Structure 1
Amino acid sequence: MTHRQYDSTGVASIYIEVRPSPPKDLIKSIINQLSQSVNPNPNGKWSRAVDVGCGSGQATFLLADYFDQVIGYDISEPQLQIANQRNQFNNVTFKISSGEGIPLEDNSVQLITVCEALHFFDIEKFNRKVDSLLNSGGLFVTIGYYPVPKLTQIDKPDLNLDHIGQSIDNLMQTWQEHGFPVKVFADMINTKYRCINLPFEKVCHEETFKTTSRRSADYIIDLINSLGTSEKFREKFPEKESSIMNQILNQLHDTFGTKDLSSIQLDVTFEYFIICFRK
């Protein structure tokens, strides 16, 4: 059963502002793998790509230059509303569906991608759907990044900020202990999905992709709030959530020596990996 984590309009609006998009060299690596087993059409593009668990289109739009048709599927209406608002491509569409129930004909897709979402799916059912949709030689690619980035303060590059990431990890552990499986999902990503069995031929596993953006330090709070469990935990345990977030906020004030977190500039780096499987 697909887990619902991002159905909230509030979370979706934060998500688009703070979550990264995969770097372009990552997409080029995927396309290079695809070209080794499936030839493009005479126009230089492949016919169809599907991005499952597409969210607000972070990875979906990056496929537009390589395919005649790109379809992003997600179960969150708020995420898809934002994706449609951002869409500037005639060959990209977004539709509601679970990963296990995509309503396309068999053998009609050359590339299926899942970015930062595979851990939410019923893997056995999803594997069957992938197998039915892909053409012979087509690729299934899972893309991931650990949701806690590396932080570097611009004017103090030698300052160790690892304790901030540890606080976010501890918060996810607290969510886990209160019935929300987010830490289990994060651990799946951290181990590069080695705990998930996929019945396809693995043709690549790369971990060399990074994306860095300049952010103010209050981004850290927004990043936490972009995790779907954050809002669900707040609704069920408001006092505990308030206490934990105040502790994290005080930690940030102490670390940066100011309560004005918007005045502190950080480089925020997410490290991506891809695993490519060929049918």
Structure 2
Amino acid sequence: MAVRAFEGKEHAAAYLQYRVAPKELISRIVSYMKETTPNQFSLALDVGCGSGQGTIPLAPHFTKVVGTDVSPAQLEMALTNENPPNVSYRECPAEKLPFASGEVDLVAAMTAAHWFDREKFLLEADRVLRPGGCLALLSYTLDMELEYGDVSTTLNDICEELHAALHPFRNPYLETHSMKIYSNMFDSCSYPDKEWNECLRVKRVLPLSGYIGMVGTFATFQNLVQKDPEEAERLLNVARNKLMSAMKVSSLDAEVTVVVKYFYWLARKPL
């Protein structure tokens, strides 16, 4: 792994509680595989699986699903899930997967590949993928939108202020925008059968506490916590209070629609 993150036990627990399972993206990956090489769904890897949000939704589609991560704390959280019997987890770096060459039908990395040594990971994914196997990389932008009655614009202005305050604490390895990282990886993938998708809007109705909790799991926020925990708590409290005031609610249980904007790419290894 080029950068190790999300490894503290408290952070891993928050990750499990607040991160969204990308079920719509799983459906797109499976559809892509059925269109290109149907009936080859034996083994799927979820690389950088964290606490298993993307691992478990793969289970209905594959004979065996393995989530891999470099963080023992994240894998400990993953094991607290109600995991289907065909799901298991392995501790290993993304660049050194403990699988035989040509053994894997799907290598997926969900909101994780930006932390990898990208060149080494792509080589390793190519090694373990069978001919015709699928490589799927996805992530999302931090400019999530909130929808709530006629105050959605106000809520999104508040969210933009929060993200602007957190931006200086972005890890330099992530450059200025994660989408560019994935675009570069897409360009460097030599597979001729591949597709890039810049925006898939995924909506989730969550309590306001769920959105605030999700922001608390972001690497930028966690970096601020390490540097100045009081300022991190102050920023989150200010945003929380502004959102509640705009929504005219007195409880964080009030539900809001969170729009997560995913980007992803899919590629098929040549036969």
Shared fold, TM over 0.5: yes
Question: 1:238 Cα shift?
Answer: 2.9
Moved more, 199-208 or 55-64: 199-208
RMSD of the alignment, in Å? 2.5
Contact 2:114 2:174 in 1 (8 A): no
Q: 1:128 to 1:158 in 2, by over 3 A?
A: closer
Question: 1:182 Cα shift?
Answer: 7.7
Listed as ranges, the matches of 1:25-64 within 5 Å are 26-40=25-39, 46-64=41-59
Find out whether 1:135 has 2:126 as its counterpart.
Answer: no
Contact 2:105 2:134 in 1 (8 A): yes
In structure 2, the partner of 1:76 is: 71
The one-letter amino acid paired with 1:165 is C
SS of 1:105's equivalent in the other structure is coil
**How far apart, in 1, do the equivalents of 2:109 and 2:268 lie?**
14
SS of 2:267's equivalent in the other structure is strand
In structure 1, the partner of 2:184 is: 195
Listed as ranges, the matches of 1:11-160 within 5 Å are 11-24=11-24, 26-40=25-39, 46-153=41-148, 155-156=149-150, 159-160=153-154
Find out whether 1:167 has 2:157 as its counterpart.
Answer: no
The one-letter amino acid paired with 2:31 is N
The one-letter amino acid paired with 2:267 is F
Structure 1 gap segments, 5+ residues each: none
Contact 1:138 1:278 in 2 (8 A): yes
The count of corresponding residues between Structure 1 and Structure 2 is: 267
Q: 1:123 to 1:158 in 2, by over 3 A?
A: closer
The one-letter amino acid paired with 1:273 is F
Aligned counterpart for 1:221 among listed residues 202, 212, 227: 212
In structure 2, the partner of 1:210 is: 201
TM-score by length of 1: 0.84
Q: 1:229 to 1:96 in 2, by over 3 A?
A: farther
Task: State the percentage of identical aligned residues.
Answer: 25
**How far apart, in 1, do the equivalents of 2:190 and 2:167 lie?**
32
**How far apart, in 1, do the equivalents of 2:224 and 2:46 lie?**
28
SS of 2:236's equivalent in the other structure is helix
Contact 1:175 1:183 in 2 (8 A): no
In structure 2, the partner of 1:268 is: 258
**Deviation string, structure 1 residues 238-270 (Cα, Å, up to 9, x no partner):** 344344334434433543356x34254311121
In structure 2, the partner of 1:238 is: 229
Question: 1:94 Cα shift?
Answer: 0.8
Contact 2:47 2:110 in 1 (8 A): yes
**How far apart, in 2, do the equivalents of 1:250 and 1:157 lie?**
15
The one-letter amino acid paired with 2:17 is E
Structure 2 gap segments, 5+ residues each: none
The one-letter amino acid paired with 2:61 is Y
**How far apart, in 1, do the equivalents of 2:59 and 2:158 lie?**
36
Q: 1:245 to 1:158 in 2, by over 3 A?
A: closer
Contact 2:141 2:178 in 1 (8 A): no
Question: 1:222 Cα shift?
Answer: 1.2
**Deviation string, structure 1 residues 42-61 (Cα, Å, up to 9, x no partner):** xxxx2211110111111111
Find out whether 1:181 has 2:183 as its counterpart.
Answer: no
SS of 2:78's equivalent in the other structure is helix
